[in-house]
Structure 1
Amino acid sequence: MSNPRASYAGNDLKRAIIYKFFVKVLSFTVGLVFLFLCAKFVLSMFTWPTDNVIYRILLYPNDNPIMFLSFCWMIGLIIIVFIHWKKTIYYVDTIIEASNNLASSNEDFIQLPGGLKQVEDQMNQMKQSAMENDRLVKEAEQRKNDLIVYLAHDLKTPLTSVIGYLTLLHDEQEISSELRQKYTSISLDKAIRLEDLINEFFEITRFNLSNLSLELSHVNLTRMFEQITFEFQPLLHEKKLDFQLISPNQLDMKCDVGKMERVFDNIIRNAISHSFSDSTITIDIKEESEGIGIRFENEGYTIPEEKINRIFEQFYRLDSSRSTNTGGSGLGLAIAKEMVELHQGSLSVSSADDKVVFHIYLPTLS
């Protein structure tokens, strides 16, 4: 795919070169005609002896004006073309040399001759953009690698516990039923945590949304949220949270049900993870202009602006602590945003006064 900025710079350069060429040709033509008229004026102002050298020189163009002007114009044009061609080649060589700097990893700005100032500015903008993109890619890759290391380390904790308690159950044949039940319960909890961590590994390795397509169908959005919120009751009870669902009794929409369920699941999980205990998570669904608006609000620590701006980045976690017990892989919100935008909608977040609000807008799909 061609770079729009590069095309724009190239077109500007071509226009500048052509403009300068025609200005030089026009200036030369006007100057030549002016000199010819001056020569005629000088010739007519005085009485010249026939053997005067200047008179003989001026007499030829006066007697053969078209031939003289054509000859001089052709000679001048050849000289202008040669000079202009040489300067254009110099420009091309300079830009080619600068393009090597454009692709290099150094942070030095590109410097071009004065006549290429606009091209220089646009190439430096491209270089800055490429450097910023490279920085973001490296940061995302580093976060991904760090997360994999953290997950791999954290896998050991539940796995060690499961092996330890199962070993006790296996070796202690006369263990009491209460202790057996306790060890079994702990082993189950640790095994579930281990499954969650493994699922996060799969989430990281298969995160590629570029080839996703929508499988649209009609769904009752109100019933859908009632089912989703019901499934979260155990997590809500654990943190002493409540759900408040504000929605019309019947609200149908067309969407990819599986993908939107995943979006809502990710946002609600995030709200539960970052909510104060004994608080309420509110989901407010309203019909908006040519679509539907869904507002998720929870009470939690205000998210700083620098984190708000990065919250939808891949592998970025609000909780930057090393342990994964307090957060997921950092993909949930990134995936949610991609899937909402796949539905031609938008997902945004705001935070103030110990409240966090996610807003989804989904247009009506035909």
Structure 2
Amino acid sequence: MTNKRIDYSQLTRKLYVYILLNAVAAVGLVLSIRFLIQGELGDWIVRLLEDIFYLRRLEAMMIYQYVFRNNMELIIFTAIAISFLLLCRIMISKFATYFDEINSGIDILIQNEDKQIELSPELGFMEQKLNTLKQTLEKREQDAKLAERRKNEVVMYLAHDIKTPLTSVIGYLSLLDEAPDMPEKQKEKYVRIALDKASRLEHLVDEFFEITRYNLQTITLTKKHIDLYYMLVQMIDEFYPLLAANGKQAVLHAPEDLTVYGDPDKLARVFNNILKNAVAYSEHNSVIEITAGLSGDKVSIAFKNTGSIPEDKLATIFEKFYRLDNARSSDTGGAGLGLAIAKEIVVQHGGQIYAGSDDNCTTFTVELPALPELDKRSS
């Protein structure tokens, strides 16, 4: 990343003007003192000596000659020293004024005041940086509050959702306990329902752990060459029970020699989260198409399913703890972390993930850097 050079020209120009004016004033002061001592000021000093000490003019002129005229260099040196100190004092005061302005701007940042930071024109570069920092901090605070609110909502929803299957499990187990002579067919039905509800309860508890893991984890990558085609085929096989239960199927379109360089566990999680999302929100008895291939210097993997996402929500579905409104009505609705985690993993790989949707279909696309030519030949 290249460092942008800051334009200090206005500030330095202003300071140069101050220095020049003060230097001219100092030289003028020294020359004035020299001229006055040798001119009318000298006569005035002689008359003052005559009046105060009752001296004759000749005596007063001799004192003036020994004290002032003979020590002219010392007097001028003293004048120069005083002028220099005054110049330094003025410059320090000016710098102190700038620091006071910057300090006031930082106070606005610290106190989070709802107003713009305004500095002197020559500090325009600093004013711009402070206001940019202020906007960045405000946005981060808003994002943090939004994420916290979403997390609290998700926790509240999960806590409520946990209660429902738990009540069902307790209810059906109580029926089995109270009626030991229950017909075998009815008993099997109650046991199956209780087992289904217990599985749903386990899933919801896992969501609670997912929230904690997301806040604590640091994503680290262990990259190696991956047979991407085989990974996608294996993933589809693992999803077969979930797909078949809803009359859905996943179809893969990809060359068998397609490879990518990355962390296999992390990328598998990305693709699992996207396919899980597609299964949850696609229509029953529909086909989920997975298309992968090499496009220029990128490997592209697209997941297309029926169903649409409103345009105003496409930009937020990758934010943590974000769930579509109908997620709670679905047994697969989770904590809203799957796509957020997928985005972080893809970005760590130097790629990007995005979604597009129309009235009929939704497509999630993952783009990852392709292998270098040398790596392709050696894989």
What TM-score, normalized by structure 2, do the two folds share?
A: 0.78
Q: What's the counterpart of residue 21 of structure 1?
A: 15
Tell me which amino acid in the other structure corresponds to 2:17. V
Matches within 5 A, 1:316-327: 316-319=322-325, 325=331, 327=333
Cα shift at 1:28: 5.6
Q: What's the counterpart of residue 239 of structure 1?
A: 246
Q: What's the counterpart of residue 266 of structure 2?
A: 259
Cα shift at 1:248: 0.7
On the 8 A contact 1:319/1:327 being kept in 2, the answer is: no
Tell me which amino acid in the other structure corresponds to 1:337. K
Please say if 1:226 is aligned against 2:220: no
Please identify the structure whose Cα radius of gyration is greater. Answer: 2
Cα shift at 1:181: 1.1
* Distance in 1 of aligned mates of 2:260 and 2:92: 64
**Measured at CA, do residues 67 and 348 of structure 1 come closer, stay the same or move farther in structure 2, by a change above 3 Å?**
farther
Matches within 5 A, 1:144-183: 144-183=151-190
Tell me which amino acid in the other structure corresponds to 2:170. I
On the 8 A contact 1:282/1:296 being kept in 2, the answer is: yes
Cα shift at 1:219: 3.1
Cα shift at 1:334: 0.7
* Distance in 2 of aligned mates of 1:287 and 1:321: 33
* Distance in 2 of aligned mates of 1:327 and 1:292: 29
* Distance in 1 of aligned mates of 2:89 and 2:226: 72
- Partner of 2:214, secondary structure, is coil
Q: 2:118 aligns with which of 100, 111, 120?
A: 111
Tell me which amino acid in the other structure corresponds to 2:315. N
Matches within 5 A, 1:306-321: 307-319=313-325
Cα shift at 1:343: 2.0
Q: 2:92 aligns with which of 63, 85, 88?
A: 85
* Distance in 2 of aligned mates of 1:342 and 1:52: 81
Q: What's the counterpart of residue 343 of structure 2?
A: 337
**Measured at CA, do residues 26 and 278 of structure 1 come closer, stay the same or move farther in structure 2, by a change above 3 Å?**
same
**Measured at CA, do residues 31 and 249 of structure 1 come closer, stay the same or move farther in structure 2, by a change above 3 Å?**
same
Cα shift at 1:73: 6.9
On the 8 A contact 1:154/1:323 being kept in 2, the answer is: no
- Identical positions, percent: 38
Q: What's the counterpart of residue 147 of structure 2?
A: 140
Cα shift at 1:33: 8.6
On the 8 A contact 1:298/1:357 being kept in 2, the answer is: yes
* Distance in 2 of aligned mates of 1:156 and 1:133: 34
Cα shift at 1:329: 0.6
**Measured at CA, do residues 223 and 316 of structure 1 come closer, stay the same or move farther in structure 2, by a change above 3 Å?**
same
- Partner of 1:357, secondary structure, is strand
Tell me which amino acid in the other structure corresponds to 1:332. G
* Distance in 2 of aligned mates of 1:90 and 1:214: 50
Q: What's the counterpart of residue 44 of structure 1?
A: none
* Distance in 1 of aligned mates of 2:330 and 2:77: 84
* Distance in 1 of aligned mates of 2:187 and 2:233: 38
* Distance in 1 of aligned mates of 2:21 and 2:260: 69
Tell me which amino acid in the other structure corresponds to 2:336. G
Q: What root-mean-square deviation, in Å, do the aligned CA atoms of Structure 1 and Structure 2 show?
A: 3.6
* Distance in 1 of aligned mates of 2:260 and 2:335: 30
**Measured at CA, do residues 31 and 112 of structure 1 come closer, stay the same or move farther in structure 2, by a change above 3 Å?**
closer
Cα shift at 1:323: 5.3
- Partner of 2:260, secondary structure, is strand
On the 8 A contact 1:343/1:362 being kept in 2, the answer is: yes
Tell me which amino acid in the other structure corresponds to 1:122. K
CA-to-aligned-CA distance 1:66-122 (integer Å, 9 cap, x gap): 999998876655433322211211221232133111111332222334544443333
- Partner of 2:256, secondary structure, is coil
On the 8 A contact 2:11/2:122 being kept in 1, the answer is: no
Cα shift at 1:160: 0.9
Tell me which amino acid in the other structure corresponds to 1:212. I
- 105-114 vs 24-33, which moves further: 24-33
* Distance in 1 of aligned mates of 2:122 and 2:368: 50
Tell me which amino acid in the other structure corresponds to 1:246. H
- Partner of 2:301, secondary structure, is strand
Q: How many residues align?
A: 343
Q: 1:360 aligns with which of 366, 371, 378?
A: 366
- 268-277 vs 316-325, which moves further: 316-325
Tell me which amino acid in the other structure corresponds to 1:225. L
Tell me which amino acid in the other structure corresponds to 1:25. I
* Distance in 1 of aligned mates of 2:204 and 2:220: 27
Unaligned runs of 5+ in 2: 32-37, 44-72
Q: What's the counterpart of residue 137 of structure 2?
A: 130
**Measured at CA, do residues 245 and 76 of structure 1 come closer, stay the same or move farther in structure 2, by a change above 3 Å?**
same
Cα shift at 1:288: 2.5
Q: What's the counterpart of residue 205 of structure 1?
A: 212
What TM-score, normalized by structure 1, do the two folds share?
A: 0.80
- 103-112 vs 67-76, which moves further: 67-76
Q: 2:285 aligns with which of 255, 270, 278?
A: 278
Q: What's the counterpart of residue 196 of structure 2?
A: 189
- 147-156 vs 117-126, which moves further: 117-126
